Amino acid sequence: MVGAADPRAALGAEVSAFLDISARLERGAFTLAADLVSDAGITVIHGPSGAGKTLFLHVVAGLVRGNGSRVCVGGRVLDGVPPAGRDMAMVFQEPRLFPHMSVRRNLLYGARGDVAEVAERLEIAQFLDRRPADLSGGQAQRVAIGRAVLRAPSLLLLDEPLSSLDEARKAVALDLFRELPGRGTRLLMVSHDPREAKALGAQVVTMTEGRLA
């Protein structure tokens, strides 16, 4: 929170929004040059396939080093900070669970929240003793969502996390996501479905050819 007591404000200095990101990256012929400033609890990026949405999330997470990128989250400048030190969690388009661990151990990994409650809501409580290889795609994706939510990071990055879920499970996940800003976790999510952004009451930005509008 930035209030009147903030010394930067007293000096008339610019006080940054929760997300203040300039992503700069070259990948072959593709150029990412995307700026995002957002104070919303939930920000949704949409845009055509190949526009650079995933690359943008990867720059924010620190998974790729941009050339001249600047990532500032919650007033913290994160350039040079490794992914594990960024207080973020990410849900990818595919689940990326730890294959050698049970669902329970996947959920407990870094958990700061109530595992039983989240497992119940996401309807994965009955799979806790299974390995990820013995789950369907949608079940594994719900475990990945649960694991990320349970870490209670200050920023949760979501790359089309609901695409493998049926409508009923999507609604459950959207309910869970909507509660997160009130618990101190803001969301930056890639979604193709305008209904999802609407259900989340999100601020929506559009990415086209590597730029955000």
Ligand X SMILES: Nc1ncnc2c1ncn2[C@@H]1O[C@H](COP(=O)(O)OP(=O)(O)OP(=O)(O)O)[C@@H](O)[C@H]1O
Which one of the spans 45-53, 74-82, 120-128, 175-183 is the region binding ligand X (CB under 6 A)? 45-53
Tokens of 63: 């998974």
* Of residues 57 and 118, the one with the C-beta less far from ligand X: 57
Q: For the beta carbon of residue 208, count every other beta carbon within 10 angstroms.
A: 12
* Of residues 34 and 103, the one with the C-beta less far from ligand X: 34
Least distance (Å) between residue 92 CB and ligand X: 10
Measured distance CA(195)–CA(151) in Å, rounded: 26
* Residue closest to ligand X when measured from CB atoms: 28
* Of residues 55 and 91, the one with the C-beta less far from ligand X: 55
CB environment 48-75: b (16+ within 10 A), e (fewer):
eeebbbbbbbbbbbbebebeebebbbee
Q: Which of residues 15-34 bind ligand X (CB under 6 A)?
A: 27-28, 30
Of 70, 73, 67, nearest to 25 by C-alpha is: 67
Q: Which of residues 47-76 bind ligand X (CB under 6 A)?
A: 49-55
* Of residues 50 and 68, the one with the C-beta less far from ligand X: 50
Least distance (Å) between residue 63 CB and ligand X: 12
Question: Any contact of residue 90 with ligand X (CB under 6 A)?
Answer: no
Counting other chains too, the contacts that 113-117 makes at CB distance below 8 Å and 24 or more residues apart are 113/149, 113/150, 113/151, 113/152, 114/150, 115/150
Element (H, E) at 56: helix 53-61
* Of residues 55 and 107, the one with the C-beta less far from ligand X: 55
Residues in contact with ligand X, counted by CB under 6 A, come to a total of 10
Least distance (Å) between residue 120 CB and ligand X: 31
Which one of the spans 46-54, 64-72, 75-83, 143-151 is the region binding ligand X (CB under 6 A)? 46-54
Measured distance CA(131)–CA(157) in Å, rounded: 24
The site for ligand X (CB under 6 A) is made up of 27-28, 30, 49-55
